[in-house]
Amino acid sequence: MHENARFALLVIGLMGSTCVASNTGQTDAAPALNAVSGVSGPPSRPPDSVESAVTAAYAREFSETIARPAIYNDPSGGGCTAPHLTTTAYVRTSSTTGRLLYLMTTPDGRLVARKSRVESVVLPAGTFRVLVVIAKHPATIGDSTLRHWEAAQAKINHDHAAFAASRGLPRSIVSFDNTNVLVDAGDIADARSPASVRAAVERGGLPAEPYQFIVSINLDPTRAEGGFAGADGFVYMGNYGRWSQALTAAEWVNVANAVYHHEVAHHWGWPGSHDWAPQCRGQAAHRPFIVPPILFGWEDVDGDGVPEILDATPYGRLP
């Protein structure tokens, strides 16, 4: 380890393989996820008429054949507005990236209310190497910070492992291999700048190149702000909780949820409008995940025993 009194380095080796992150450029106000409840069982298959209508919508709107679409149909509309159906499809273009299609329709799948086609997103599958740079503010960063943060990161990996186990999978679809660095706040010219964060880390002797995500956590007690997912796998998390003293273990879990379940999801294609299966009232059954797992391709919808994001023939597509 490089000798530098300003840096405290903790490496957490969890898994082996890697995925390469790209950028979405989405920005959010004040993300916060507290729930740690388990995800409910596999979704039931939609009626044939709805599935056929959604398949037709993909063909009409995108000229894509999605024979067995991933559909989340909430008859309550998430307590937001009129009931609607949400459907997504990841079309792999490389081992780590893919094209993402999204439709919001009426519950019968016939009328499209919103759509998007993103040509390149990070596929939400594999083990992501993450460098987390925590700016040291004496008021909010205490002696227990790294211990609490490591436990919170372990909780994120546990969320994914528990979901995989609930679906009978031998291993997690997603996991995070984390490296954590504490840096004096004054040593980072701009904690919101990927270049500044990389420069601060590299001055301490740790190269930033091997990481798919670089996370900057800046809990400045004088500045209340949210987080965003930026270019080239960058994630920024500000003091959205308006904390003015050292965070507790539960509060670090909240930060970890905001980073890994919220901002990282933007790199997987979840839009900044947050309109995939929005939940406006009540506790969503898919927590701790930000949207139903089916929309990230984590469910087997075409009945071949393989989650769509890992499937060589996803959504019933031909080889």
- Range 290-299 average pLDDT: 96
Quote the distance between the C-alpha of residue 11 and its chain's center: 21
User: What's the CATH code of the domain at 28?
Assistant: 3.40.390
> Residue 42 domain-assigned?
no
Of the chain, the percentage scoring pLDDT greater than 90 comes to 75
Considering the domain architecture, whether residues 82 and 26 belong to the same structural domain is answered as no
Please report the pLDDT score of residue 256 as a whole number.
Answer: 98
Please report the pLDDT score of residue 77 as a whole number.
Answer: 62
Considering the domain architecture, whether residues 243 and 100 belong to the same structural domain is answered as no
> Residue 207 domain-assigned?
yes
Q: pTM for the whole thing?
A: 0.87
Considering the domain architecture, whether residues 234 and 153 belong to the same structural domain is answered as yes
> Residue 107 domain-assigned?
yes
Of the chain, the percentage scoring pLDDT greater than 70 comes to 84
- Range 69-94 average pLDDT: 85
Please report the pLDDT score of residue 23 as a whole number.
Answer: 32
Considering the domain architecture, whether residues 243 and 293 belong to the same structural domain is answered as no
pLDDT tens track for 208-228: 778 999 999 999 999 999 999
Of the pLDDT bands very low, low, confident and very high (cuts 50, 70, 90), residue 271 is very high
Please report the pLDDT score of residue 44 as a whole number.
Answer: 85
pLDDT tens track for 97-106: 999 999 999 9
Residue 16 confidence (pLDDT) above 50: no
- Give the residue with greater pLDDT, 318 vs 48: 48
Q: What's the domain range around 105?
A: 48-122+274-312
Considering the domain architecture, whether residues 109 and 132 belong to the same structural domain is answered as no
Q: Partners of 100 in the beta sheet?
A: 90, 118
Considering the domain architecture, whether residues 206 and 227 belong to the same structural domain is answered as yes
Considering the domain architecture, whether residues 56 and 100 belong to the same structural domain is answered as yes
Write down the mean pLDDT value for the chain: 86
Distance, in Å, from the CA atom of 37 to the CA atom of 28, rounded to the nearest integer, reads: 24
Considering the domain architecture, whether residues 131 and 212 belong to the same structural domain is answered as yes
Considering the domain architecture, whether residues 203 and 149 belong to the same structural domain is answered as yes
Considering the domain architecture, whether residues 14 and 138 belong to the same structural domain is answered as yes
- Range 69-75 average pLDDT: 88
> Residue 317 domain-assigned?
no
Domain count, the chain: 2
Residues 6-38: b if buried by 16+ CB within 10 A, e if exposed: ebbbeebeebeeebebbbbebebeebebeeeee
> Residue 206 domain-assigned?
yes
Please report the pLDDT score of residue 75 as a whole number.
Answer: 66
> Residue 318 domain-assigned?
no
CB 48 within 8 A of CB 99: no
pLDDT tens track for 118-157: 999 999 999 999 999 999 999 999 999 999 999 999 999 9
> Residue 144 domain-assigned?
yes
- The sheet carrying 84-92 orders its strands as 70-74, 84-92, 97-105, 112-122
Of the pLDDT bands very low, low, confident and very high (cuts 50, 70, 90), residue 76 is low
Considering the domain architecture, whether residues 196 and 308 belong to the same structural domain is answered as no
> Residue 159 domain-assigned?
yes
Residue 25 confidence (pLDDT) above 60: no
- Give the residue with greater pLDDT, 277 vs 184: 184
Alpha helix positions (H), the chain: 48-62, 145-166, 194-203, 249-256, 264-267
Considering the domain architecture, whether residues 146 and 231 belong to the same structural domain is answered as yes
